[in-house]
Amino acid sequence: MPCTTRTSTLALAAAAVLGSAVTAFADGEVNLYSSRHYDTDERLYSDFEEMTGIRINRIEGNADELIARMVAEGDNSPADVFLTVDTSRLERAKDAGLFQSVDSPILETRIPAYLQDEDNQWFGFSQRARILFYDKAEVANPPQTYEDLAKPEYAGQICIRSSSNVYTQTITAALIAHLGEEATRAWAEAVVANFARDPQGGDTDQLRGIVSGECNISMSNTYYFGRAVRTSVDGLSDSLDMIGWVFPNQDSFGAHMNLSGGGVAAHAPNRDNAVKFLEYLASAQAQEYFSAGNDEYPAVPGVAISPSVASLGFFKPDDLDATVIANNIPAAQKLLNEAGWE
């Protein structure tokens, strides 16, 4: 996605150029760098502003571009908070020195420990289960585990995303933790042999592949399917009845969960406001809206989920520590390349 800029004041844009500006350090503001590109997040921002009187200035764009921007800005960066999708990007920002540790009893109490960075530099605020979908008319015995995707009986049937996609990398990193590196390498090689087509497109395209008949089985995050239930998604919503789904590994480690989260920027000029914003994201109100507005699962236990998500049913999630997944990303990338996963 091309990088776009949204600010509530022209002064923030000037701050990025000049390295400092009075408005960037105002008590009543928080400067948010976000790669979450969902229009429904507008409600999160407006509610926070109404509740606190703190104005949110936003810079929105591709996660890697925002990380590069913060690195280039260095000590003069006006960023107070960085929000992004996927554990690998959160860890990439941490490795680049872009976060700082936060001591917040609210975040510590409300966000489960396995969804927090071990140094309290980033926190997860919403989740998406990465599950298996299939053509109900064509697949009599759908795969019940991620490991099943490697079975010869599914040869030529699988649509899945490329190895450069962070979702592919994180599920592979999780499998390394559960199965070991050698077993996961063998799994990846067998899945490649079962591809119906070369990896292409996003998660919605994997689901559309079932509708078009290009494949019988795909892997996708739940919120893409939930969105098609709640709204009209071209090439998908009218054909949902033909698609079945499986929450994998319910008799073992559970369904893999992708994370959306964020942390306080290392050089945040409005640190206190940044912490307040993160604490708001952990509130019941914000957590419910992550689900109602974007078909995600809340990170905070016990928060209600939207009907579109609830329609998929209850399941056992994988509670593997997000830091473990992040630490396995380099090995996952190497393994996928060696397996010929394009």
* Residue (of 250, 266, 6, 242) closest to 122 by Cα position: 266
Of the listed ranges 20-29, 50-59, 87-96, 156-165, the one predicted with least confidence: 20-29
Per-residue pLDDT averaged across 151-157, rounded?
Answer: 98
| Domain ranges across the chain | 4-126+259-306, 128-255+316-338
* The two domains 4-126+259-306 and 128-255+316-338 share their CATH topology (first three levels equal): yes
**pLDDT at residue 25 tops 80:** no
Summarize pLDDT for 222-234 with one digit per residue, the tens.
999 999 999 999 9
Per-residue pLDDT averaged across 81-88, rounded?
Answer: 92
Residue 27 is predicted with a pLDDT of 64
* Residue (of 119, 116, 59) closest to 278 by Cα position: 116
pTM: 0.86
**pLDDT at residue 11 tops 60:** no
**pLDDT at residue 18 tops 60:** no
Domain 128-255+316-338 in this protein, CATH class: alpha beta
List 261's β-bridge partners, or say none: 84, 124
Task: Please give the CATH topology (third level) of the domain spanning 4-126+259-306.
Answer: D-Maltodextrin-Binding Protein; domain 2 (3.40.190)
Residue 262 is predicted with a pLDDT of 97
Summarize pLDDT for 109-122 with one digit per residue, the tens.
999 999 999 999 99
* Residue (of 91, 76, 80) closest to 123 by Cα position: 91
